[in-house]
Structure 1
Amino acid sequence: MSEVTRPRIRYMPGLDGARGLWVVLGPLLYHARPESVPGGPSIVPGGILSLDLFFVLSSFLIMTIALREWDEAGRIDLKGYAGRRARRLLPAILVALVGLTAYLVVFGRPEQTDRWTGAIFSALTYSANWHEIAADISYFEHYRTPSPLKHIWSFSIEEQFYVFAPLFLIVGLGLLRRSERLLLAVAVLGAGASAWWMAVLHEPGTDPSRVYFGTDTRAQALFVGIVLALSARMVGPPETERGQRFVALAAYPATAFHLWAVLYVSQHDDWMFERGGFLLVASVSAVIIYGLSVPAPWSPLHRFMASGPLRFLGRISYGLYLYHWPVYMLVTGDRLGRLLPGVDRVSGLWLLAVHLAITVALASLSFYVVERPFQARRFPLVGRPATALSGTVAAGVATVVILCGLLWVNTRPSTAEGGFETAGGVCAEQGLLPPPGDGRVRVLVVGDSVSVQVAEGLCAWSLDNPGRMVVMNEAHLGCVVGRYGQKRVPEGIEGPVGDLCSAWNEAVPAHVMLERDVVSWPTAVELFRPDVVLGHITPWDVTDRLVPSLGKEWVWVGVPAYDDYISSEYRLASQVLGSGGAHVYWLEGTHLRRAITPQNHPDRIDRLNELVAGATVDLEGVSVVPYREVIGEVGSDRERRMRDDGVHLTADGLVEVAEWLIGEVFIETR
C-alpha cells in the first residue's frame, strides 16, 4: 500500500483532549514543584500514572491503523510505517538533543558531562530506559541534579513498542491464519505476564525505578492497548443509541478513578507494583479511551474533553512532554531572579506559571515549525516539498552534530588534575589518586544523600580553585551509620538498612573500591589518606530500627538500648575515619520540612545530635559542626532558599555550604 493511500481512522477529538488533560495533570505537574525544580513534594504524587494512559492510547491507535491496513491490503507496509513514525518522532527530539548538546558544550560543567552524555546518547538511540537501569539511576530521587532528559525513558519504551507492534501483528495474523481471538488471548497473556514479572522483581521498601523503567515490566500497558484495538475490531462500534450511551457513560467512573489515582497514589504504594496496580490503571485507561472514542455530544465529559483548549494541548502534547523537563531544569528560580530587577529568586506558583508558559510556547513552536511540516513532507519555514532523502540527510546531519558535541565535551582538557568524574563531581579515585604532599587539602566525604550533595559542592569549588583541594566522594544514597537490621521507611513500610552501608567498617581490596556499589571507609582512608573527613548525622538513624543485636523488638532514639548502640556506632565510625590522622567533622543533623518517614521527629534528631556529640567528645580530632545554623530554621526564607524540598540542598545551598566549610570550618585556603 502506498504512503498516499495509507488507511486512516476517524478523528476522535475527545482523545486529543484526553492527551492534553493528562499530560498536564500527569508529568507536567508531577515534575513541577511549587518552590523550585528539582526537589520538593510533588503536586500530584500519582502523576506518573498518566503515562500508562499514553502507553495504552499509543498502542491502541497504532494497532488500529495496522489492522485496518491489513484488512485493506492484506499486508503491512513496513517501509511506509517506519517512515511515518520517523517523521512524527525524530524531528522534534533531534532539535531538542542538538540544543541540549550545544548547552553542554557552551555552559556545561565537568561534573555534568558523564550524566548528560549518557542521557543524550541513550535518547538518540531510544534506549534511555535501559540506560537508566544500567546506570542505577533513580526516577524518584528528585534532589540530585539529574540530566534534562530524565523523562525520555517513556519515549524509548514507546519506540521499542513501535518496532514490536507490526511484527507482532504480521506474525500473529500470518501464523495464526487471521485468528483474532487467539491473537487477543496472546495479548491478554502478555499483559498478565508483564504485571506478574513486575511483582516478582519489585522489593517492598526499596526504590522501584527498575520495575518502573523496564520495558518488560511496563509492556503491560502496551499489551492492554493491543487488547483494546483487537476487542474494538471484533465487537465493532456500538450500533444502538443505548449501546453508545453505555460506552460513553463508562468513561465517567473510569475518569474519576484515574483522577483519584493521580492525586493520591504514589511510588510508595507497593500494591501498585505487587498486586496489579499498574495493570488496573492501564485497564481503566482503556475504558476511558474507548468511552471517549464514541461520539456523545450530550455528554458533559465528552464536550469538556473535546473543548478547544484541551484539543490544542493534546495536539502539542508530544512537545509539552519533550520540553517540560529541560525547561524545569534549566530555567531555575535563581536564574529568573537575576533577570528581574529587585527580585532575588522566583519561587512558588510564579515559578510554576513561568515554567508552564515557556513549555507551552516551545511546544507550540515545535509543533508548527518542526513537527507538522515534516509530517507533511515539507521543509520548515520555507514550505517547499521535502523528499525522503532530504529528510534522511537532515537527520544524519543532526546526529553527527550531536555525536561530535558529545565527543568534544568528553575529550576536552579538565582543570581538575588527577581527578575523575563521579556521582559527586570531579573528585579523586584510586588509580588516579594524586600523591599526598602536593599541597592540596585532601577531603574524604562519607554518608548519605546530603553528603553526596555536599561533596558535589566541594568538587565544584575545587574546579574553580585548582591546586587547592582534592575531594574523594564516598557518600552513597540512603547510607546510615547504624549498621545492620531493618528500618521503617516511608508510609511505615519496613525495609532493609542496606548492604552498602552495613559494611562500611570492613576493609576490601583496593581494586574492589572501583565498583560503585562498594562502601569501605577503612580502605578509603588507607588509599586516599585524607587530611579532613566529612560525614553527616543522618535522619535515617532516627527512624524506627530492628537491630539483630538488640533483640526482636523495634527500637528508636530515646530507647536506652538503641541510644547506647547508635552512640557506639558513631564513635566507631569516627575512630575508623580518623585512623589516618585526619580531622573528622560531623555535620549536625537538621530538622526536616519534608519527613523521610513519620518517625523523623525534631526531638529525635536533637537527641541523636546529643548522642553523637557525647560519644565523640573525648576523641581527639572529632567535631560536630553547626550545620543547622547554616541551613536556617525550618520554614524560614533562608531555609527555603537553601533546601527546596526541606531535606536536600538547592544549587545556591550547595555553594553556600561549600564556602562555609572551606572558609570557616575545616579548610585554610588562604
Structure 2
Amino acid sequence: MRISQIQGLRALAAILVTLFHARLMPGGFIGVDIFYVISGYLITGLILREIERDDHLNLAAFYQRRIKRLLPTSAFVLIATAVVSWILLPSITRVNLGKDLIAASLYVSNYLFAWWQNDYQNLNATPSPVIHYWSLAVEEQFYLVWPIFILALAKLGKRIYLIVGISAVTVFSLIFSIYQTQTSPIWAFYGLPTRAWELGFGALLLFVPQTLLRSRIIPWLAFMGILFSSFRFDENTAFPGWKALLPVLATVLLIASINIWPPMFNDLSNNRVSQWLGAISYPLYLWHWPALVIPSAVLGRPLHISERFGCIALTILLAHLTHRFVEQPLRHKELSPRRIYEGALAATLISALLAVGITLTSSDEISIRGATTTKFSLSQVMKKPGVYGDGCHVNYGETKSGYCTYGDVKSKKIVVLYGDSHAAQWFPALNELATKNGIRLISLTKSACPAVDSPRSDQGAFKMVHCKKWRENSIARITELKPLAVITSSFEYFNPPANYPNRSLWWSDGQRKLLSQLSKSSAKLIYISDTPHPQRDIPSCLASRKSSSCDSTQKTPVRVTRGFDVVNPNPWLCSSYCPAIVDGVVAYRDASHISVDMAMALIPRLQAELAARGIL
C-alpha cells in the first residue's frame, strides 16, 4: 500500500511540473520539491536496508543500479531532443545547445543554466530544450555523495549518529538555502547545497515511527499545503528558501501519515490511472519540456491553450512508449557491471558527438527571406553595449556602479547616463557622440533597476533593497559630479505593486521623485522615453521566418512628467507599425533592447536632439 501511494505522489509531482510549464498552474514547479522528498526517502531507505542486511554497502553496485535505473531513459530523451532540435530549430535557438547537451549528459547542467540565467539579458531569450535536466543533475550529484555519507555515519554504530548527521546536513542546507535565496536566488534555485535539505527531509522520514501521527486531519492539512503552494506560488516567489518549507513539509506529512490517509486519498492514488502516471512519471518529466518548448520556438510565439493541451497529450504518449520500450526492458535486463559502464560511456559519447555536430552546423548568419535575401551576423545582432563587457553595467545583487569613464576622459564637460538596461542600450551612440564632441561620459546603469524611483515587489533575482541602495549611491555620485546633463531612460513594463490604483500614477510618482533627486545636481535633465516593446525575441523570429512576420504594432506611450526634456525615439523606429528591420538594420538584439547597430544608426537623430538642447 505504501509503495502504491508513493507512486500516486510521483504522478502528482509530474502533473504539477507539466502544468506549470504549460502555464496552467502558477506554482506547479513545486512538483520538483515533491520528487526530491520522495527520492531522499526511498534512496536513503535502500542504503540503510542494505547496510543492516549485509553490514556494509557495496558502493559500486549502488552506482551501477542508479546508472541502470536512470541513464537509459534520460539518455534516450536527451538524444531524441537533440536530434529533433537539430532538425527543427533555427540556428540562433540551437547556438548554445551543444554545450547544454554536454552539461546535461554529465549531470552538471544545473550550474551551467544557473550561470546562463544569472545574466539578466538572457531572461527573454528562448530557453534550452534540455534546461529541465537541471533537476536530474541535482539528484545525481546527491546520489554521488549521499551513500558515502550514510555509510560513514552507519559505521559509527549507533542510530542516533545517523539522525544527528542527517539532521545537521539538512539544517545547514536549509539555512544556506534561505540565505542564498535572498542574496543569489538563481544559484539557490539550481544548486545542490541549497536543495539538499529537501532530500534530507525525505531521509529523516525513515526515523519517524509510523504510529507517531494519529490525527486524521494531518493528511488533509498536508494536501492543502500542496494545493496552496500550487496555486499561490508563482515565478516571482522567492524560492526555494523558507517558502519551500510549505510543499516540502506537506510532502513529508503526506508520506508520514500514509497509514491514516482518508479513503478519498487512497482512491485517488491507487486507481489505475494514477498508478500508470506514477509509473511513467520519470519519462513524463523528461519529455514534457521539449514537447512544449520546441513547438513554441518553431512557431516563434507562445503556444495557444489548445496547443499546450495537445503538447501535454503528446508528452503522455511519448512517456508511455519510452517507459514500455526503453525504461522497463533495460531496467529488468540482467547486465554485467562492465556492460552497464560501457552503456553509460556510449550514451555520453553519442551526446558529445551530437553536441559537436550541432555546434559545427550552427551558423552565425541569419538569412532574412523577403523580396530579396538579406544576411546578418547573429553575434553582431546580439552584441551587448560595451558597458557590459567592461564590467560597468551593474547586475543583480550589486549596489554600486564602477568608476568607468568614456568619451573624452580628460574633458571637464560631463554627461551622465543613468538608468536600467534601457538606458544602457543608448550607450554606444552616446559614447560615440561624447568622443566626437569633447564630452566625458559617465555610465551609471543597472539591470532591472529603472532610474524612475517607483517601488516594486521583489521578482526572482531582482531585490528592491539592492535597487534602492544602487539608486542612492548613483544619485550621490551625480550630485558630486555636477554634470552638464543627465540622460536617463527606463523600461516601462514593470508591474506596479498592488497598492497602486493604476500604472500611470505609479510611474508618474516615481518620475517626480527622480526629478526631485536629480534637480540637486543643477544638470540639464534629458529623458529618453522607452523604445517600442516587440514582445518577442526578434533575432529568433528573424532566423525562422520572414521579417514582416516579426514586425510589431505596439509603440510605447510617452509617459514623462513635466520638468524633464523629452526625447521620443518612437518615430525613429516606427511609422504605422514597428518593423523588426529599420533601414536595413535589425532593430532589436532580443525581445526588449535595441541592438548596438540600431543605436549607432540613430546617432544623427540623437545628435540633433541633444544639440538642440545645448548639450553638444
Shared fold (TM-score, shorter chain, > 0.5): yes
Equivalent position of 2:411 in the other structure: none
Contact 2:515 2:563 in 1 (8 A): no
**Alignment partners' CA distance in 1, 2:151 and 2:489:** 59
1:333/1:88 CA distance change after superposition, 3 Å: same
1:207-218, aligned counterparts within 5 Å?
208-218=185-195
Partner SS state of residue 193, structure 2? helix
Q: CA deviation at 1:87?
A: 1.1
Q: Distance in 2 between matches of 1:139 and 1:20?
A: 34
Task: Name which of 526, 531, 553 aligns with 1:587.
Answer: 531
Structure 1 CA distance, aligned partners of 2:281 and 2:100? 22
Tell me, yes or no, if structure 1 residue 259 matches structure 2 residue 238.
no
| Structure 1 Cα separation of the partners of residues 315 and 145 of structure 2 | 31
Give 1:32's aligned residue.
Answer: 22
CA contact (8 A) 1:489 1:495 kept: no
- Structure 1 residue matching 2:456: 3-state secondary structure: strand
TM-score under structure 2 length normalisation: 0.67
Distance 1:69-1:542 versus aligned 2 partners, 3 A rule = closer
Q: Is the contact made by 1:110 and 1:421 (CA closer than 8 Å) also made in structure 2?
A: no
State the alpha-carbon separation in 2 of the partners of residues 57 and 589 from structure 1: 43
Q: Deviations over 1:640-664 (max 9, x none)?
A: xx9xxxxxxxx9x969x99xx99x9
Counterpart check, 1:398 vs 2:357: no
Mapping of residues 425-574 of structure 1, within 5 Å = 425=382, 478-480=447-449, 482=451, 487-490=455-458, 494-497=464-467, 537-540=491-494, 556-558=507-509, 561-562=512-513, 564=515, 572=526
**Deviation string, structure 1 residues 595-649 (Cα, Å, up to 9, x no partner):** xxxxxxxxxx8562576995237xxxx66557697489xxxxxxxxx9xxxxxxx
Q: Tell whether the 8 Å contact from 1:19 to 1:314 is kept in structure 2 after alignment.
A: yes
SS state at 2:465 partner:
strand
Distance 2:344 2:564 in 1: 61
Indicate whether 1:173 and 2:173 are aligned. no
The 3 A distance-change label for structure 1 pair 665 and 616 is closer
Deviation at 1:158, TM superposition (A): 0.9
Quote the residue 1:313 is aligned against: 277
Q: In structure 2, do the counterparts of structure 1 residues 336 and 140 end up closer, same or farther at CA, with 3 Å as the change threshold?
A: closer
Task: Sort the Cα spacing of 1:111 and 1:502 in 2 relative to 1 into closer, same or farther, 3 A.
Answer: farther
Name the CA shift for 1:181/1:405 in 2 (closer, same or farther; >3 Å).
same
Residues 1:14 and 2:5 are matched in the alignment:
yes
C-alpha distance in 2 between matches for 1:562 and 1:149: 44
**CA-CA distance at 1:142 after TM superposition:** 6.6
Distance of 1:542 and 1:302 partners within structure 2: 44
The alpha carbon displacement at 1:304 in A equals 1.4
The match for 1:370 among 323, 326, 330 is 326
Specify the code of the residue in structure 1 equivalent to 2:139: E
Q: Please give the secondary structure, in 2, of the residue aligned with 1:615.
A: strand
Please give the per-residue CA displacement for 1:277-326, whole angstroms capped at 9, x wherever unaligned. 3234322211111223x386x72211211111111111111111111111
- Counterpart CA distance in 2 for 1:360 and 1:570 is 61
Partner of 1:54: 35
Residue number in structure 1 paired with 2:407: none
Task: Give CA deviations for 1:310-345 in whole Å, capped at 9, x if unaligned.
Answer: 1111111111111111111012397499xxxxxxx9
* Deviation at residue 537 of structure 1 after TM alignment: 4.8
Cα offsets for 1:101-148 (capped at 9, x unmatched): 324444444433453233222211111222223334479987431111
| Aligned with 1:329 (options 271, 274, 293) | 293
Letter paired with 1:363: A
Matches of 1:201 and 1:154, distance apart in 2: 18
> What's the TM-score, normalizing by structure 1?
0.63
Kindly indicate whether the alpha-carbon contact (under 8 Å) linking 1:542 and 1:608 is maintained by their aligned counterparts in 2: no
User: In the alignment, what sits opposite 1:300?
Assistant: 264
Q: Distance in 1 between matches of 2:496 and 2:34?
A: 40
Identify which of 200, 203, 210 aligns with 2:179.
Answer: 200
Counterpart-to-counterpart distance in 1, 2:117 and 2:194: 16
- Check whether the contact 1:17–1:310 (CA below 8 A) recurs between aligned residues: yes
CA-to-aligned-CA distance 1:204-224 (integer Å, 9 cap, x gap) = xx7722211121111111111
1:358 paired residue among 314, 324, 329: 314
Aligned match for 1:409, one of 351, 355, 358: 358
The answer for the alignment partner of 1:94 in structure 2 is: 75
* C-alpha contact 1:45 1:265 (8 A) present in aligned 2: yes
Distance 1:541 1:629 in 2: 27
Number of residues of Structure 1 aligned to a counterpart in Structure 2: 506
1:183 Cα deviation (Å)?
A: 1.4
Q: Is the 8 A contact 1:191 1:279 kept in 2?
A: no
Secondary structure of residue in 2 paired with 1:488: coil
**Distance (whole Å) between structure 2 residues aligned to residue 160 and residue 609 of structure 1:** 51
Change (3 A) 1:372 1:166: same
Sort the Cα spacing of 1:665 and 1:79 in 2 relative to 1 into closer, same or farther, 3 A: same
Aligned residue identity for 1:321: Y
Distance in 2, Cα, partners of 1:567 & 1:623: 25
Q: Percent identity?
A: 18
**Conservation of the 8 A alpha-carbon contact between 1:482 and 1:541:** no
Q: 1:212 to 1:409 in 2, by over 3 A?
A: same
Query: 2:471, 2:104 → 1: CA distance?
Result: 33
- The RMSD of aligned alpha carbons is 5.1
Report the 3-state secondary structure (helix = DSSP H, G, I; strand = E; otherwise coil) of the residue aligned with 2:128.
Answer: coil
* Residues 611/406 of structure 1: CA separation in 2 closer, same or farther (3 Å cut): farther
Structure-2 change in CA distance of 1:475 and 1:85 (3 Å): farther
Distance in 2 (alpha carbons) for counterparts of 1:409 and 1:475 = 39
1:202 partner letter: T
What is the match of residue 469 of structure 1?
none
Q: Does the 8 Å CA contact 2:420/2:451 hold for their aligned counterparts?
A: no
The answer for the alignment partner of 2:539 in structure 1 is none
Between the aligned partners of 2:177 and 2:527, the Cα distance in structure 1 is: 38
Query: Are 2:280 and 2:320, in contact at CA under 8 Å, matched by a contact in 1?
Result: yes
Which residue does the alignment assign to 1:185?
164
